Structure 1
Amino acid sequence: MYVSMKKMLADANAGNYAVMAINCFNIETARAVIGAAEEEKAPIIVNIFQDHLLTHCDSELITPVVKILAERASVDVALNFDHGQEKEYLIKAIDDGFSSVMVDMSRFDLEENIRRTKEIADYAHAHGASAEGEIGCLGASEGGNFTQDAMYTDPEQAKMFFDRTGIDALAISIGTSHGNYPDGMVPKFDIERLKAIKKLTGAPLVLHGGSGSGEENT
């Protein structure tokens, strides 16, 4: 079934389990991801990164395909616009039927991040979609530009951000980095920070850059 990420994550939040969001860039990868989710009897989020949406699959074309695959599936499927940084593309994805968008305005200062994120979240909600926002920044494993302590999410700011934007899910930074880690490397997670953010916000939390994080962290 094709569902919003809000419903999916609310169920996960209540049931104390996590949902995977896997990046896809065309029909074939989306079909494979949904098929794997069915085998595991698990809900799944089909993530499409902004650059991939622009270079591989227009939102107007990929949305109806994922919707059909979702309606045929035996598990819940959400379609999420991953790391949307431009208002134009975020609005188009919502208009074309994405069930969720991740609003990534973390490059701006806190007040501007709140303003821009709330604007898109309000539009998404008015059109039946859910919205994710991000506070804190993630590094990238490529080139050794890993997430540093100064980039971690501040719990008090996270609460203010979540309350003022009205988003449905909160992406935070606690030590993950985008991309694949070098062989044998396991990142160090700030679990106490994670607990503090969860306690203060009560929000469904999103950890980007989870690939290769290690079974112990997961």
Structure 2
Amino acid sequence: MALVNTKEMFKKAYEGGYAIGAFNVNNMEIIQGITEAAGELKAPVILQVSKGARAYANPTYLVKLVEAAVAQNPDIPITLHLDHGPSYEMCKACIDDGFTSVMFDGSSKPFEENVAEAAKVVEYAHKYNVTVEAELGTLGGVEDEVSVEADKAMYTDPEQVQDFVNQTGVDSLAIAIGTSHGAYKFKPGQDPKLRLDILEEVSKRLPGFPIVLHGASSVPQEFVNIINQYGGNMPNAIGIPESELRKAAKMAVCKINVDSDIRLAMTASIRKYFAEHPDHFDPRQYLAPARQAVKDMVAHKITEVMGCDGKA
């Protein structure tokens, strides 16, 4: 199976009451861990690349690694997606490189500017059967190039969604209902909950339309503890409760993004390995268990959060 766009997988997800996992990739081991889990669980999957990942790994390398993963997993739908594309130019470059889905993130721009540039991306993307995601509302937190102070974050206004989708022609919409980028989302003692009332209102105004959640990592305390046990100094933090994400997946949310949890799992594995094997220096020795940690994390998300296992 060749790379696919998100149109058909989102249609099935909406009708089936589940979400597709969208996992950020930066290198070979992460791509392998994600796709091995998805392949074994017969789950559709989205591999997404940020601006920072493109700069780190080189677009050509990433595309070829993903193509290799597709060849290794011919029985599952795989989408190659640009995450948080900051401009029309970057979205165009990714489409030209072979991406099958792109996100234009104009959420920090005034509504009219966001609409105008998103529509421009859609016009180009749809010529090549590439689907387009855009964003309304602003998530707080830090992830790669995205950095928004907590007091600048804004919930999505449901009254704007119909006009935005109608004027731009986008295929999916990322909304802000209480998620946050990065690992430091909420302090202990806080009770993070998603504004499912906003999600419900958006879905009423956009019946059958796929909604996306960014910043949806749960920040497992076990990984923070391992990192700190072996020389780290991460403060305790609370992520998005997986029970809340599962509720959203049963509603209109068809795509849930996960990045920080993969980084935490991988980093915890590598720190633990070096603490237990201080004299080892072969990258294969510490990257193999790190890849397994990514695989285990993704398998958990697919089965317990997204509910998309067996949906390939």
Please indicate, yes or no, whether the TM-score normalized by the shorter chain is above 0.5: yes
| Counterpart contact for 1:186–1:214, Cα < 8 Å | no
For 1:106 and 1:132, the matched residues in 2 are separated by 12
**Range with greater deviation from structure 2 (179-188 or 88-97):** 179-188
Residues 196 and 51 (structure 1), Cα distance of their counterparts in 2 relative to 1, 3 Å cut = same
For 1:8 and 1:58, the matched residues in 2 are separated by 28
Deviation track 1:90-112 (CA, whole Å, cap 9, x = no partner) reads 11100010010010011110011
Deviation track 1:35-60 (CA, whole Å, cap 9, x = no partner) reads 11122221111011112212x22223
For 1:141 and 1:48, the matched residues in 2 are separated by 16
**Range with greater deviation from structure 2 (36-45 or 78-87):** 36-45
Corresponding residue of 2:216: 210
For 2:202 and 2:95, the matched residues in 1 are separated by 28
Corresponding residue of 2:155: 152
Identity of aligned residues (%): 37
Residues 75 and 183 (structure 1), Cα distance of their counterparts in 2 relative to 1, 3 Å cut = farther
Query: 1:7: Cα distance to partner?
Result: 2.1
Q: Does 1:89 pair with 2:90? A: yes
Corresponding residue of 1:188: 193
| Counterpart contact for 1:84–1:101, Cα < 8 Å | yes
| Counterpart contact for 1:138–1:147, Cα < 8 Å | no
Residues 19 and 92 (structure 1), Cα distance of their counterparts in 2 relative to 1, 3 Å cut = same
Corresponding residue of 1:200: 205
Deviation track 1:138-166 (CA, whole Å, cap 9, x = no partner) reads 00169994477x60001120111111111
For 1:193 and 1:147, the matched residues in 2 are separated by 19
- TM-score norm. by structure 1 comes to 0.91
Deviation track 1:6-44 (CA, whole Å, cap 9, x = no partner) reads 222122112221111111112221121111112222111
Which structure has the larger Rg over C-alpha atoms? 2
- The aligned length equals 216
Counterpart of 1:69, as a letter, is: A
Corresponding residue of 1:77: 78
Corresponding residue of 2:234: none
Residues 36 and 116 (structure 1), Cα distance of their counterparts in 2 relative to 1, 3 Å cut = same
Residues 27 and 186 (structure 1), Cα distance of their counterparts in 2 relative to 1, 3 Å cut = farther
Corresponding residue of 2:61: 61
Corresponding residue of 2:306: none
For 1:141 and 1:216, the matched residues in 2 are separated by 23
- The Cα RMSD (Å) is 2.1
SS of structure 1 residue aligned to 2:99? coil
Counterpart of 1:195, as a letter, is: E
| Counterpart contact for 2:193–2:241, Cα < 8 Å | no
Gaps spanning 5+ residues in structure 1: where? none
Residues 84 and 141 (structure 1), Cα distance of their counterparts in 2 relative to 1, 3 Å cut = closer
SS of structure 1 residue aligned to 2:214? coil
For 1:144 and 1:171, the matched residues in 2 are separated by 16
Gaps spanning 5+ residues in structure 2: where? 219-239, 246-312
Q: 5 Å matches for 1:87-166?
A: 87-140=88-141, 145-146=149-150, 151-166=154-169
| Counterpart contact for 2:135–2:174, Cα < 8 Å | yes
